[in-house]
Amino acid sequence: MARKALKSRKTAETEVSVALNLDGSGAGRSATGIGFLDHMLELMGKHGLLDLDITARGDLNVDSHHTVEDLGIVLGQCLNEALSDKKGIQRFGEATVPMDEALAQVALDLAGRSAFVYNVKFPCEKIGEFDVGLIEEFLAAFVSNARIVLHVNVTSGRNAHHVAEAIFKAFGRALRRAVEPDPRRTDIPSTKGVL
């Protein structure tokens, strides 16, 4: 069974479309109008072996907030749909990724409920024109719509770009591990019988 989803969202502020394949090769493209965000999404897909096709148009004349948040919403919805009933998956994923002096640790649970812990301090407020606070907004929107538990901890990092890269690479790798089929399991990985 293909674990894919295609979702879109249109508001007065944004228009977002996402195609997700959980069993991909890390191929894809991202065209959001926000170069730094596109770069981070490509890293996430590549290291998570997720095929992503993302397009977004938003009110960038105001700022990037609506586009980033709505993308998190749609991508989270895609994950939730692509996982279907979650039978036979690993469920938990964890990755620790260094990017030069930066170190990010991401742990997640495809729990069917939402919780988000974000222990990240950036050495500056912007990377180019990109507000680093929007990374937290993107992940929070993703978590609530995917209905997952996500912990992000950055223990070191002097360069903001390196910190962001470590987060997105670790997120992709942790997600890959969580969605991977478990060869010893055919049921839903929960004593409740549902996720």
Each of the 195 residues of the chain gets a pLDDT tens digit; together they read: 789 999 999 999 999 999 999 999 999 999 999 999 999 999 999 999 999 999 999 999 999 999 999 999 999 999 999 999 999 999 999 999 999 999 999 999 999 999 999 999 999 999 999 999 999 999 999 999 999 999 999 999 999 999 999 999 999 999 999 999 999 999 999 999 899
Q: Where are the domains of the chain?
A: 4-179
CA-based nearest residue to 154, from 115, 110, 120: 120
The one-letter amino acid at 134: L
Tell me if the domain spanning 4-179 has CATH number 3.30.230.40: yes
pTM over 0.85: yes
